[in-house]
Amino acid sequence: MPVDASLAEAWIREYASAVSAAKDELTRLDQAIGDGDHGANLSRGMTAAVGRLAGDTPADVLKLVGRTLISTVGGASGPLYGTAFREVAKALGDAGQAEDGAFAAALRAGLDGIVRLGKAEEGDKTMIDAWVPALAALDAALGSGSSLGDAAAEAAKAAAAGAEATTPMQARKGRASYLGPRSVGHQDPGATSTAMLFAALAKVAA
Ligand code: ADP
Ligand code: MG
């Protein structure tokens, strides 16, 4: 299924509503190893993004989402997610719709943007630990001929497993790293919200 502006909008709406429904859970996770603002931060940013949804191409839509997250969400996650959406948009260019492979490649450009900005590696207990397995699963499924909806469902599963796998990790980046060994035993909030991002994509692309 090619990704056009209306599918991009649907994805953002779905993600915003998932984040807002999970606001308390994300807050609780961030209270354990951070400052407790992740649910409120992201929910505020995504609500603002939904309020400004517009554009003729998927890139137009996602560029605006990125800009909105950067300007309305404080903390680490706003600039990180915001950069990801802006890089996705940049990679999509001005096409009216993106084929599945081009969309997967654009998502990878988004991950690269997060890594460039945040300098985290796999195993540092961050959102990267959900993004990396999600995109690997997405590429693998598309490579074996799955539809975007099925591939996104695989990506969502892998992202959720990646988020769960952050629990025994000790944080080496972001606010949670200040806790040192006390960050062990809690699931990373940003990896958890990333799993929701891929679940939202799976839902709208199904
Ligand atoms: P803050 O930590 O500033 O309060 P949030 O609570 O909104 O910001 O977001 C915290 C999440 O951001 C973490 O759970 C982690 O997934 C992600 N994060 C923090 N630092 C980095 C980084 N350097 N690279 C990637 N992700 C990061
Ligand atoms: Mg926080």
pLDDT in tens, the chain (206 residues): 899 999 999 999 999 999 999 999 999 999 999 999 999 999 999 999 999 999 999 999 999 999 999 999 988 999 999 999 999 999 999 999 999 999 999 999 999 999 999 999 999 999 999 999 999 999 999 999 999 999 999 999 999 999 999 999 999 999 999 999 999 999 999 999 999 999 999 999 99
Q: Tell me which of 115, 126, 170, 193 to substitute to probe ligand 1's pocket, judged by most ligand atoms within 8 Å of the beta carbon.
A: 126
Cα 119 to middle of ligand 2, angstroms: 18
Question: What pLDDT is attached to residue 75?
Answer: 87
72's CB contacts (< 8 A; 6+ apart) are: 44, 45, 48, 78
Ligand 1 pocket, 173 CB below 6 A?
Answer: yes
DSSP 170: P
Which ligand is located closest to the Cα atom of residue 44? 1
Q: Please answer whether residues 98 and 58 qualify as being in contact, where contact means their C-beta atoms are separated by less than 8 angstroms.
A: yes
16's CB contacts (< 8 A; 6+ apart) are: 43, 46, 47, 49, 50
Please report the atom of ligand 1 found closest to the CA of residue 75.
3
- The residues pairing with 4 across neighbouring beta strands, listed in sequence order, are 97
Question: What pLDDT is attached to residue 18?
Answer: 98
